[in-house]
C-alpha cells in the first residue's frame, strides 16, 4: 500500500497494491498494521455505503466533537470527485480544499481525519461510494456548508446546473457563517 500526503496536511491518498489475473483482482482495502505505520492510528466503528446516480452531490458535511468522524473513503463502482475542506481554525490551510477522483477502476482511497468538511459528486450512474468512519453518526452534531459556497470556490468538475441535492444539503450555511468546532 502506498500512502501519499496531499497538499493539505493530514489528508492522505492511499493507493493499494492490486493483484490482477484472469479471474479478476484482489486487494486489501484496510490493514491496521500498515495504516498505523502510516500515521493513521484510529478505531473504525461504522461502515457506510451509498448508491448514487450521475450528478448526485452529497455534502459538505462534518460532525462536531464528541462525535467528530475521520473517514476512509473509496468508490467501489463508478466514479466520483471527492472533496475535503480544512475547517481546523489554527491550520495554515483553513478554508482550503483538496479534491481527488475516486473510482472503481483506480482503487484509490482517501483518508480524511476529523477537522474537515467532506463531500462528493458522482460522475457516473450507479456509483457505489463506501466509507469507514471513526465516530458514530449523531444528528445533533452535524455541521455543514453549502456545496457552491462563493468563498470556497470548489471546482466540482461537473456541470453545476445538473447537480442533484437533498433538501438538507440545499439548506446548509455559507462558509463565512460556519462556527467551526475544530
Apex 137 CA angle, 106 and 48, nearest 5: 30
Give the CATH number, domain containing residue 96.
2.60.120.10
In a domain, 83, yes or no: yes
Cβ(104)–Cβ(79) below 8 Å: yes
Cα gap 72→109, rounded to integer Å = 7
Identify the pLDDT of residue 160.
86
In a domain, 87, yes or no: yes
Strand partners, 36: none
30, 61, 94, 118: the active-site residue: 61
Neighbours of 150 (CB within 10 A): 9
Identify the pLDDT of residue 67.
95
Answer yes or no: 131 catalytic. yes
pLDDT digits (tens, 9 = 90+) for 95-110: 999 999 999 999 999 9
Cβ(55)–Cβ(158) below 8 Å: yes
Cα gap 182→180, rounded to integer Å = 5
In a domain, 122, yes or no: yes
Strand partners, 122: 80
In a domain, 1, yes or no: no
In a domain, 65, yes or no: yes
Answer yes or no: 118 catalytic. no
In a domain, 64, yes or no: yes
Residue 139 is part of which domain span? Answer: 44-177
* Structural domain total, the chain: 1
Cβ(12)–Cβ(40) below 8 Å: yes
In a domain, 61, yes or no: yes
Based on the number of CB atoms within 10 Å of its own CB, is 179 exposed (0-12), middle (13-18) or buried (19 or more)?
exposed
Identify the pLDDT of residue 171.
96
In a domain, 31, yes or no: no
Cα gap 174→149, rounded to integer Å = 6
25, 118, 131, 137: the active-site residue: 131
Strand partners, 26: 19
pLDDT digits (tens, 9 = 90+) for 151-174: 999 999 999 899 999 999 999 999
Q: Which residues of the chain have pLDDT under 70?
A: none
Amino acid at each position: 500500500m502506498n500512502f501519499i500526503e496531499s497538499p493539505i496536511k493530514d489528508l492522505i491518498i492511499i493507493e493499494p497494491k492490486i493483484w490482477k489475473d484472469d479471474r479478476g483482482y484482489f486487494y486489501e482495502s484496510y490493514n491496521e498494521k500498515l495504516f498505523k505505520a502510516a500515521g493513521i492510528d484510529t478505531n473504525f466503528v461504522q461502515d457506510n455505503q451509498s448508491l448514487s446516480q450521475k450528478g448526485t452531490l452529497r455534502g459538505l458535511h462534518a460532525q462536531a466533537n464528541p462525535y467528530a468522524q475521520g473517514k476512509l473513503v473509496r468508490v467501489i463502482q463508478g466514479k466520483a470527485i471527492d472533496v475535503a475542506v480544512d475547517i481546523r481554525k489554527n491550520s495554515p490551510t483553513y478554508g482550503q480544499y483538496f479534491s481527488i477522483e475516486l473510482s472503481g477502476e483506480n482503487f484509490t482511497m482517501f483518508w480524511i481525519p476529523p477537522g474537515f468538511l467532506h463531500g462528493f459528486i458522482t460522475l457516473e450512474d450507479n456509483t457505489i461510494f463506501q466509507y469507514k468512519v471513526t465516530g458514530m453518526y449523531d444528528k445533533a452534531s452535524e455541521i455543514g456548508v453549502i456545496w457552491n459556497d462563493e468563498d470556497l470556490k470548489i471546482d466540482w468538475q461537473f456541470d453545476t446546473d445538473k447537480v442533484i441535492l437533498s433538501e438538507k444539503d440545499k439548506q446548509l450555511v455559507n462558509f463565512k457563517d460556519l462556527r467551526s468546532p475544530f
